[in-house]
Structure 1
Amino acid sequence: MRASTARRDAAARLREAGVASPERDADLLLAHVLDVGLGRLPLVEDLGAAEQEQYDALVARRADREPLQHLTGSAAFRHVELAVGPGVFVPRPETELLAGWAIEQAHLVGRAPVVVDLCTGSGAIARAIADEVPDADVHAVELDEGALAWAERNLAGTGVDLRHGDLASAFDDLLGTVDVVVCNPPYIPLEAWESVAAEARDHDPHLALFSGQDGLDAIRVLERRAAELLRPGGVVGAEHADVQGESAPGVFVATGCWADVADHRDLAGRPRYLTARLAR
């Protein structure tokens, strides 16, 4: 079959299935099958029978709303490439903004910074910090054993101290010494189940998605633990849902322990993550 025809048919199938970016996903899957960059796809004229069969199978799985990154086995995050698949939350582009904030704060410390990534998942934020702040002392923790296996793979050889544990009690040995705490916690209210995209609801670990009736349970735990981990003047940053632009920062404001509590928007202008500085 002509490659252009296969791409067009695949995009139409994905569009009918409700995939948000059918043309790009069709191209990325074909590039994966052919093991070429996207820029070389226009140079491909025909697909062999085996290539067509593999492509059709991947397109069918994507039409069933299996995450694209599960099909290709990787996800780009800032300047690194992460291995991902079933059992781990696929890192989203908007989380790169939170990681960028943590990297900037680490650079401002003026010495080798101590950074803790709570709820590390695939290890995306910890890996990015280790990559862009080579002198940082980076620590990461993950509770879910399935996700932990992916984090071990992605953080191997980086020097990151990865542990299996709960954000509520992790790193007792670092209490009062940390410069930057960063976290992409679960933040979806249980009542919002039906509104979650099928790719996340049916394939991402629920431990990484849902956090109580108002979606703020994990953020409340994060606030308490960050206050224990950080040195005075240390900073914390946490992602939240776009409808939590006031309620998530409000968790920090309410305790009186924090200064410079602020919320930040993503590239689409939606509230996306909060930051705060330990005052006491």
Structure 2
Amino acid sequence: MEGEVEQKVRAGAARRTAAEQLAKAGVASPQRDADLLLAHVLDVGLGRLPLVGDLTGPQQEQYAALVARRAAREPLQHLTGTAAFRHVELAVGPGVFVPRPETELLAGWAIEHAQLATGVSRPPVVVDLCTGSGAIAKAVADEVPDAVVHAVELDEGALAWAERNLAGTGVDLRHGDLATAFDDLAGTVDVVVCNPPYIPLEAWESVAAEARDHDPHLALFSGDDGLDAMRVLEQRAALLLRPGGVVGAEHADVQGESAPAVFAATGRWQDVADHRDLAGRARYVTARLAR
């Protein structure tokens, strides 16, 4: 009995030591990351960690190695190989932008508007530009099964992850540039959604190490003001959408006025609005193509 108690204490000590190591490295959520990594090593849910006995030698080595990599600011999702996004799970790793929780709000907006377009004479048509891992496209296909979903990605490394994540979903995934994608859909799309690159080049040093050092730069940076891709998106969405169709795009929290201005300045959009995330920060812009 005494040995069993000692084993459980040692397991708990491993978690505490890992959390302390991650905190010293500047990881934002050290205790949770330590727990998630241990749960990954043991292949158990977080709720079962307090019930787990001592780690075996190989488990201790694997855990220590993963914690060291996380302390070096390698993204947690790269270490576990998966990322949760709304109701779906995505395979992620080096070469693809790791989907963020705040992007779930933009996906929810796209899902809501796809559902509003359901029940007319044809299925709703949704286009996900700059799909990356395929997160938004997969979420839409999962929650609006009647929708016809199309997605495009330029970066070949990210495209490989999208192919893996969208296999079997029915999503039409293509390799291409958002500036020229889907000419064959011109004037027929109900919802265009996009999480474009939006970080100004001058903001390099302010980007979290997990993103700056591990996410593809094509998915991060977009010109001097961070809005080059947004301007291209505005033009492409105007071509793809049917009259009355809607577009939604994520942006940086400092672009709460400048991103909507990209759409408002052209005169071809109605209901241009910006939306905040759960932390109250400006997060994504939406607009409706004038009829």
Q: Provide the TM-score with structure 2 as the length reference.
A: 0.96
1:39 is aligned, of 22, 47, 56, to: 47
SS for the counterpart of 2:27 is coil
Residue of structure 1 equivalent to 2:87: 79
Q: Percent identity?
A: 87
Measure, in 2, the Cα distance between the counterparts of 1:52 and 1:224. Answer: 53
Q: Within the alignment, does 1:150 sit opposite 2:161 as a pair?
A: yes
Q: Within the alignment, does 1:66 sit opposite 2:74 as a pair?
A: yes
Residue of structure 2 equivalent to 1:245: 256
Residue of structure 2 equivalent to 1:51: 59
SS for the counterpart of 1:151 is helix
| Amino acid corresponding to residue 73 of structure 1 in structure 2 | G
Measure, in 1, the Cα distance between the counterparts of 2:128 and 2:69. Answer: 33
Question: Cα RMSD (Å) of the superposition?
Answer: 0.6
Q: What is the CA distance between 1:150 and its match in structure 2?
A: 0.1
1:125 is aligned, of 136, 142, 153, to: 136
Measure, in 2, the Cα distance between the counterparts of 1:277 and 1:187. Answer: 21
2:245 is aligned, of 224, 234, 250, to: 234
SS for the counterpart of 2:21 is helix
Deviations 1:12-58 (A, max 9, x none): 00000000000000000000000000000000121110100000000
Structure showing greater radius of gyration is 2
1:134 is aligned, of 134, 140, 145, to: 145
Deviations 1:197-249 (A, max 9, x none): 00000000000000000000000000000000000000000000000000000
Measure, in 2, the Cα distance between the counterparts of 1:241 and 1:133. Answer: 27
| Amino acid corresponding to residue 272 of structure 2 in structure 1 | V
Measure, in 1, the Cα distance between the counterparts of 2:132 and 2:251. Answer: 15
Measure, in 2, the Cα distance between the counterparts of 1:3 and 1:145. Answer: 42
Q: Structure 1 stretches of 5 or more lacking a match?
A: none
Q: What is the CA distance between 1:3 and its match in structure 2?
A: 1.1
Q: Provide the TM-score with structure 1 as the length reference.
A: 0.99
Residue of structure 2 equivalent to 1:188: 199
| Amino acid corresponding to residue 162 of structure 1 in structure 2 | L
Measure, in 2, the Cα distance between the counterparts of 1:45 and 1:234. Answer: 56
Measure, in 1, the Cα distance between the counterparts of 2:146 and 2:116. Answer: 12
Deviations 1:138-166 (A, max 9, x none): 00000000000000000000000000000
Measure, in 1, the Cα distance between the counterparts of 2:108 and 2:202. Answer: 31
Count residues in correspondence.
280
SS for the counterpart of 2:184 is helix
Q: Within the alignment, does 1:274 sit opposite 2:285 as a pair?
A: yes
Q: Structure 2 stretches of 5 or more lacking a match?
A: 1-6
Measure, in 1, the Cα distance between the counterparts of 2:268 and 2:156. Answer: 33
Residue of structure 2 equivalent to 1:172: 183
| Amino acid corresponding to residue 190 of structure 1 in structure 2 | L
Q: What is the CA distance between 1:251 and its match in structure 2?
A: 0.2
Q: Within the alignment, does 1:212 sit opposite 2:220 as a pair?
A: no
